[in-house]
Amino acid sequence: MCSSPNYLRLANVLFRNYGAMKNFERCAEKCRVVHAEKGRLKVEMELGEEHANLHGTLHGGMTATLVDIVTSTAICLTKRQTDGISIDLSVSFLAPAKIAIKFVCLSGDSILVDGFVSRLGSSLCFTGADIYRKSDGTKIATALHTCAYAKRDVKTWANLDEK
């Protein structure tokens, strides 16, 4: 399915804002939105040393953070137009993604994060995400994320104009 221009614009604005923040959302500063439609968001990210664990692969905490950010942003791409506040987050790690580390590994993986909304309830939203190595399509993680709705409108906190 093709990206919707309005959803793509909103997702790009949000990810630019994340990269400029001084809080934990900044972890998404290297993400590039590749697809956005109602309730679904796909981002690509080239892994760097700052994403590594002691084994030179993608850190589990970074994986969970990406799931949180991408699925919460997918909620913004629904009729609710607000982000999510985590209630429950479950990640299953299926395969490693290597990190480019100077003098150890010359090239690292890029990953694709596919976040989606499964169900919008009256007070909770159920989302999920799958993360793939871009080079070979191997699924490296799968996740479920349950969120409560934030009490703020995404257009307000993202400083979006109505044009």
Number of domains forming the structure of the chain = 1
Q: What is the largest CA-CA distance in the chain?
A: 52
In whole angstroms, how far apart are CA 14 and each of 1, 19, 114, 147?
22, 9, 16, 18
pLDDT at 29: 87
Contact 88, 147 (CB under 8 A): no
Please say if the pLDDT value at position 153 is more than 60.
yes
Take residue 2 and report the two structure tokens written for it.
């093709």
Q: Looking at the domain assignment, is residue 162 inside a domain?
A: no
Split at pLDDT 50, 70, 90, the class of 104 is: low
Q: Looking at the domain assignment, is residue 160 inside a domain?
A: no
Please say if the pLDDT value at position 122 is more than 80.
yes
Q: Looking at the domain assignment, is residue 28 inside a domain?
A: yes
Please say if the pLDDT value at position 108 is more than 80.
no
pLDDT average, residue stretch 113-118: 98
When mean pLDDT is compared across 13-17, 66-70, 102-106, the lowest value belongs to 102-106
pLDDT average, residue stretch 72-98: 92
Split at pLDDT 50, 70, 90, the class of 161 is: very low
Report yes or no on whether pTM surpasses 0.75.
yes
pLDDT at 86: 95
Q: Looking at the domain assignment, is residue 97 inside a domain?
A: yes
Alpha carbons 53 and 96: distance in angstroms, whole number: 11
Tally of CB atoms within 10 A around 4: 16
pLDDT at 84: 85
Split at pLDDT 50, 70, 90, the class of 70 is: very high
Q: Looking at the domain assignment, is residue 135 inside a domain?
A: yes
In whole angstroms, how far apart are CA 49 and each of 58, 101, 107, 113?
9, 6, 11, 19
Tell me which residue range forms the domain holding 20.
Answer: 5-155
In whole angstroms, how far apart are CA 139 and each of 18, 107, 116, 136, 159?
25, 19, 16, 9, 35
Q: What is the CATH number of the domain that holds 70?
A: 3.10.129.10
pLDDT at 1: 58
Q: Looking at the domain assignment, is residue 111 inside a domain?
A: yes
Q: Looking at the domain assignment, is residue 39 inside a domain?
A: yes
